Amino acid sequence: RDVLQRLVDGTDLGDEAWRASVLTGEMAPRFIVQRLWFDRPVAAGSAPFVGTAAYGHLDNVSLVHDLEDGAAQWAERCGGSVVELHAYAVPDDVTDDEVLADLRHQLERLHPELTGCEPVHEEVLVEADCPLAGTDEWAARPGVVTPQPKLVLAGDGVRCELPVALMERAATTGFQAANALLRHWGLPGHELWSVPTRARFPRSLRAARAALRLRERGLATVGRDSSGRGR
């Protein structure tokens, strides 16, 4: 999205409102990815991917040798393991080194068998190029179709009314963008499938909401009495 902003900034593409919707988007705080090659295996039966909470800066751990052919071959040849640690939305007042030290500490909590094992190779990626999914008004974000008929947008920072995010939103808006261009040229596009975006039984939903409103106002009680009968 920062690249899109740089491309749009200073041009007369679209109209002013659209340019403003593109230019006001913010980027998320930086993320850090650390990939470590160990000459020691992880414990047998370890999960290939673990999402974590309350493990310091660590958000997840992937055993890359369980997921990728090249890493699997390396681990097999060396009797080792390839482990990737992710830290998202790193606060500005923490240094990369502090985060990396914490990631290592958290890894040893999850995989004590790697305690004291020095990696034979390490790669670190630090970037801040992800669009922020913040609390700004969703409807004000730029969507796939733009005021410029032949210009369409796709990516995870682009508004899409289907319940998708991240890679799925990037792929979905990619299809929608292609469909918009194909429509423009009078060609059929590709059908997109998603989960329902409306209630299957809208009347029941409306009735339940009305009952909830009445209960909140103290005008009625919705629930069951001690005998289990509805009241």
Ligand X SMILES: Cc1cc2nc3c(=O)[nH]c(=O)nc-3n(C[C@H](O)[C@H](O)[C@H](O)COP(=O)(O)OP(=O)(O)OC[C@H]3O[C@@H](n4cnc5c(N)ncnc54)[C@H](O)[C@@H]3O)c2cc1C
Residues of the shown chain interacting with ligand X in the complex, contacts defined by CB under 6 A: 3, 31, 33, 86, 130, 155-156, 166-168, 170
Write down the least CB distance from residue 168 to ligand X, Å: 6
Between 5 and 39, name the residue whose CB sits nearer to ligand X: 5
Between 17 and 167, name the residue whose CB sits nearer to ligand X: 167
Q: Which residue's CB comes closest to ligand X?
A: 155
Write down the least CB distance from residue 189 to ligand X, Å: 19
Between 114 and 177, name the residue whose CB sits nearer to ligand X: 177
Between 102 and 156, name the residue whose CB sits nearer to ligand X: 156
Between 4 and 78, name the residue whose CB sits nearer to ligand X: 4
Write down the least CB distance from residue 29 to ligand X, Å: 12
Write down the least CB distance from residue 36 to ligand X, Å: 15
DSSP the chain: -HHHHHHHTTS--S-HHHHHHHHT--BPPPEEEEEEEESSPPPTT--SEEE-SSSTT--EEEEGGGT-HHHHHHHHHHT-EEEEEEE-S--TTS-HHHHHHHHHHHHHHH-GGGTTPPPSEEEEEEE--SBP--SS-GGGS-BSB-SSTT-B--STTSB-SSS--HHHHHHHHHHHHHHHHHHHTT--------S-SS-SSHHHHHHHHHHHHHHHTTS---SB-TTS-B-
Write down the least CB distance from residue 169 to ligand X, Å: 7
